[in-house]
Amino acid sequence: MRESRRKDSWCGPRRLRIAAWIGLFLWGIVIARLVYIQGFLGEAYAERAYGQYVRQTSLSAKRGSLLDRRGTEMATDVKARSFYARPEHVQDPEAVANFFARLNGVNSEKIVGQLSGARSFVYLARQVDAAAVDARADSFAGVYSHGATRRFYPLGSLAGQLLGHTNIDNEGREGVERAFDSVLRETEGAQVAFVDARGLQVPGSIQQQAAAKNGHSVVLTIDALYQSILEEELARTIKEADAASAMGIIIDPITGEILALANVPLFDPNHSGRSTALQRRNRVIADAYEPGSTFKVIAAAAVLEDGLAQVDEQVDCEEGLLKLSNGDLIRDITPHGNLTFAEVIEQSSNIGVIKFTRRLPRARYYQYIRSFGFATRSGVELPAESSGILQRVGRWSDRSQETISIGQEISVTALQLAQAYAVIANGGELLVPQIVKGYADREGGLLGEEKSPRVLRRVVSEKTAAILREILQGVVDRGTGSRAQIAGVSVAGKTGTAQKAAENGLGYDPDASIVSFAGFLPVEKPQYVCVIVVDDPRKERWGGSVAAPAFQRVMQRIIHLPGGLLADRPMGGNLVSTRMVPDLRGMTRSAAYLTAQLRGIEVQAEGQGSVVVGQVPQPGEEILVGVDIRCQLGEDVSHLNDVKALEGRQMRLLEVLEQEFNSPARGL
């Protein structure tokens, strides 16, 4: 009995001790778990809790627009939608593929393959114009969308190579878009709001964390109207001369502002993905070519500036045949005897130019070439500019100075040549070419002051420049550039014809050439410098018969614009003037009205829709003043945009331009 009591008394405390230890152990686990959660997982759980009652959304912003000097919108952001699919939820892959293949311009079989693969997420179409999307797009099971913006170029291919384009993330990739990406780029904002247990936003709980910042707009020196005229005439020249391509540039010789810069064939930045690198290439600044006789003005300037010749001094042109310093022979197309210095340039005599250039020390001539801006980048704020090709004077051969003087053994860009002719036009100063006037806010107001002209150096004296202007006027009045004449205005310039290098790199191809014309007007007080370069014309093979007429047509149309030099005079001295029909296809209704009215042409719109899908007369035709263009409106998916946003700005621009038509439009 005593043993039983001892056992009971011993078991009781033992059970309590065991229970206590178990309790302590369990409490230890709980405490350790709490320490682990609070100490190591606290932030993660806090974030999960935060995500349950807080919603964060991004605030969209817009990339800055590209505007021409008049304020015409050349690039802007528009509303878009991007569509994607969760393949496991798609019930009818073929129907989805067929629909989005048409919308996105891709092969439907490719989309079917993507939907049949192992991927859990597939983009069907990205950055599609919101207004162009059929309601069926939202009816497919497993297909979803989200809002987006995309870059849109309202004037289509106008200045496409100059403007460049953006990638899918709206970042500038080429042209102005790339050069000024840091100015144009937008910064998205963010805001947070509290939600209840049902996921509904609590009224008044929105808190902004970071404000959205729109990019600044860039105001270009380009005049969209001048640009369209230049492109139209280059396209006409290619067709008439059966040429491979053409390029041109117009600059203001007093300010250095680039008023137009064109490469034909054209490139539409709205469809950059369908283009090649060659189509997108801004050849005016990126491609160097042998200038031929347009370069003779550099040797003439050097000889005159150093007092090594007089304008009326005669030289024997050897009846068209001369032996160079290394024994090679050089010929003139038209044999000449004695010619004065001025006549040598007027008749473009190779022999006469070589004989005068021989008077220059080689190093001195090299300095003049560099001083005119050749063999170096111009300083224009555009990517991929070429410096051209010129060997250092120490590497020249016996004949180099002679052949360089007539535009061989040297390569230049069209921009460099325009820059050099501007030196002669403005009185002897080399300017940095300007492509941007300034920056603007979303309403178009300039931020700060416009950019001022930048003078690099004086190249020749005002006296020498004046003599050269007179000589170059003689080229147009009496010499090889006669087809550049414009009734009622004095024109100066120089023709150029150069053989192209053979594809094998050995010598020149006798069947391929580059022809050009560089000139300015009016001679008394030049306002425009224009360079036209035509690559490999097949029907006509000379600068005077191909490039000079193109120059004449471009400048004649520009100076006859409202507010221009000869706005009140009939073109060409005729009693009735004509107009060139612009290409309005793909433009919005308001953009078409703007483009036509700036040319003094009225538009009659027919049909339903917001985009011009057809027109009569056809682009490039000449019509009499008073004849209207009939435009067919429709819904061209590839060119639709945020019409309402553009229409108001463009119509306000028309009102401003109507007030400016009595004076030249020289800026905003």
Mean local confidence (pLDDT), 190-212: 61
Range list of H helices, 249-393: 277-280, 283-286, 296-305, 341-346, 350-357, 362-371
Which pLDDT belongs to residue 645?
37
Mean local confidence (pLDDT), 168-174: 89
Average pLDDT, the chain: 83
Peptide bond before residue 664 is cis, with ω within 30 degrees of 0:
no
Question: Could you tell me which residue, 89 or 331, shows the higher pLDDT?
Answer: 331
pLDDT band (50, 70, 90) for residue 116: confident
How far is the C-alpha of 152 from the C-alpha of 77, rounded, in Å?
6
**Which pair of structure tokens corresponds to residue 568?**
């009140």
623 Cβ contact list (under 8 Å, min separation 6) = 578, 579, 581, 601, 617, 629
Which pLDDT belongs to residue 650?
45
pLDDT tens digit sequence for 205-260 = 566 566 678 889 999 999 998 999 999 899 999 999 999 999 999 999 999 999 99
Are the beta carbons of 97 and 107 closer than 8 angstroms?
Answer: no
Are the beta carbons of 500 and 514 closer than 8 angstroms?
Answer: yes
Expressed in angstroms, the distance from the first to the final Cα of the chain is: 118
Region of residue 322 (left: phi > 0; alpha: psi -120 to 50; beta: else): beta
**Which pair of structure tokens corresponds to residue 225?**
């109207």
In this structure, the strands spanning 66-67 and 217-220 are parallel
Which pLDDT belongs to residue 573?
42
- 591 has pLDDT over 50: yes
Lowest-pLDDT choice from 164-178, 539-553, 635-649: 635-649
588: which DSSP letter? Answer: B
Question: Could you tell me which residue, 193 or 19, shows the higher pLDDT?
Answer: 19
- 595 has pLDDT over 80: no
337: which DSSP letter? Answer: S
Are the beta carbons of 438 and 449 closer than 8 angstroms?
Answer: yes
Which pLDDT belongs to residue 478?
94
Question: Could you tell me which residue, 123 or 258, shows the higher pLDDT?
Answer: 258
Question: Could you tell me which residue, 253 or 95, shows the higher pLDDT?
Answer: 253
The segment with the largest mean pLDDT, out of 16-30, 40-54, 289-303, is: 289-303
Mean local confidence (pLDDT), 521-527: 95
What single letter denotes the amino acid at residue 207?
Answer: Q
How far is the C-alpha of 495 from the C-alpha of 478, rounded, in Å?
13
pTM above 0.85, yes or no: no
pLDDT band (50, 70, 90) for residue 3: low
Which pLDDT belongs to residue 25?
83
Q: Is 388 helix (H, G, I), strand (E, B) or coil?
A: coil
Which pLDDT belongs to residue 501?
78
Lowest-pLDDT choice from 41-55, 78-92, 596-610: 41-55
Percent of the chain with pLDDT over 70: 82
φ, ψ of residue 206 in degrees (nearest 5): -70, 130
Percent of the chain with pLDDT over 90: 49
Lowest-pLDDT choice from 59-73, 169-183, 223-237, 330-344: 59-73
How far is the C-alpha of 2 from the C-alpha of 125, rounded, in Å?
93
- 168 has pLDDT over 90: no
Question: Could you tell me which residue, 257 or 144, shows the higher pLDDT?
Answer: 257
How far is the C-alpha of 413 from the C-alpha of 249, rounded, in Å?
11
Which pLDDT belongs to residue 646?
40
What single letter denotes the amino acid at residue 615?
Answer: Q
Mean local confidence (pLDDT), 60-86: 86
User: At CA 571, angle to CA 558 and CA 533, rounded to 5?
Assistant: 45
Of 555, 259, 566, 297, nearest in space to 425 by CA: 297
- 92 has pLDDT over 90: no
- 14 has pLDDT over 70: yes
Are the beta carbons of 277 and 306 closer than 8 angstroms?
Answer: no
